[in-house]
A = this chain, B = another copy of it.
Amino acid sequence: MLNESGFIERLRSRFAAQGRVEVGIGDDAAVLRSSSVDHVTLVTVDLIAEGTHFTLPPATPRQVGRKALAVNLSDIAAMAGRPETAFVAVALPRRRGADCALELFEGIAELAAEFDVVVAGGDTNIWDGPLVISLTLLGTATGRGPVLRRGARPGDWLLVTGPLGGSLSGRHLAFTPRIHAAQQLHQTVELHALIDLSDGLSRDLTHITTEQGLGAIVEAEHVPIHPDVPVDLPFETRLRHALDDGEDFELLLAVSPEDGQRLQDAPPLGVTVVHIGEVTAAPGQCLLRSADGREEPLTASGYEHRF
C-alpha cells in the first residue's frame, strides 16, 4: 500500500534535480535557472488518456509512460528545439495499484534519460477513473531559433523524415521522436516550416499550407508507406493509411528547392528525408498522379474528436 506522499517520495529519489533544475520534485513549484542573455523557452503539453489514446492491455504502463513523454518530445522536435525539463501530472486508477504507477514513471524515466530530460515536477492523484497523464515539456531553441508552422513559401519542397501509416498497430507506443533529425536539419538548411505528423499527413499538412493561405501538391507515388501498412492491401488503401492514419510522429518540413535538393543528395548522417511534393501559391491541397498527371483534391481526413 502506497499513499500519495509515499509515492511522491519515491519519485523524488528517482528523479533528482540536476543541471538547470535548482529545485525539482517536492516543493510548491520547480525552480529552473537560465543564465543566457536572450533565453527562449519552448513549452508543450500533451494529455493522453486510457481508452482514447491507448488501451491497457495491449499497452503496458511502461509503454504509456514512454508515449506520454515521446509525443511531447515530438512537439519540441517540431520546433527544432532541445528538450530540457518535464512535469508529469497523473490521475492514477486506484484499482491498478502502485505498481502500475511506478512502471509508468519508469517508462518516462527511460526515455527522459535518452534525451537528457530532467523530470522536475508534477502532480500525483489517485482516483477511481481511467489512467490519465498530462505531461508538460519545456525546452529551448537551437540554432537560428524555433521553427514555426508558418513560413513556407510557394515553390518550397515538402519533405518527410520517414515512412507513414499503420502506426496504431503498435509503433505509436515505440516511435523515436525526431529530436536529433530536427536539430541536424535545422543546422544544415534553412527550414521554412516544420511540424510533426500526429493527426495524419493530410490533416497536418493544412497547418503549414492552407492555414497560411497556401496550397500543396503531394505526389501520390512519392509518399513513403510504412511497412506496418499490410503490403497485401490495394495501393489506394495503403496510400490512404499513409495519408490519414496519424501518430506517425515523423516531421514534415518545407524548404527551398535548392535546400531540398541538397538534403536529398546528402542528408545529414542518420536522417532520412523523402521529397513528397511542393508548396503552391494557390490555396488547396492536391494529390498528383504521376502516371497520367491527374490531380485530385487531398482532403484532410485524419482522425478528429468531436463533441
Contact = CB atoms under 8 A, between A and B. Distances in A.
Given A45-B123, A148-B23, A97 B32 contact: no
A194 B23 CA distance: 14
A30 interface: yes
Nearest to A145: B31
Contacts of A128: 51-52
B46 A29 contact: no
Nearest to A137: B29
Contacts of A107: none
A53 to B, nearest CB: 8
Interface in A46-98: 46-47, 49, 51-53, 75-76, 78-79, 81, 85, 87-92, 94, 97-98
A108 interface: no
A208 B128 CA distance: 31
* Interface size class, chain A: 35 or more
Interface in A256-307: 304-307
Interface in A157-181: none
Interface of A: 1-5, 22-23, 26-35, 37-47, 49, 51-53, 75-76, 78-79, 81, 85, 87-92, 94, 97-98, 101, 120-123, 125-130, 132, 134, 136-139, 141, 146, 148-149, 194-196, 304-307
Given A4-B306, A32-B42, 17 more contacts: A4-B305, A5-B304, A29-B42, A29-B43, A30-B42, A31-B40, A31-B146, A32-B40, A32-B41, A37-B37, A45-B88, A45-B134, A46-B123, A47-B134, A51-B128, A101-B307, A132-B132
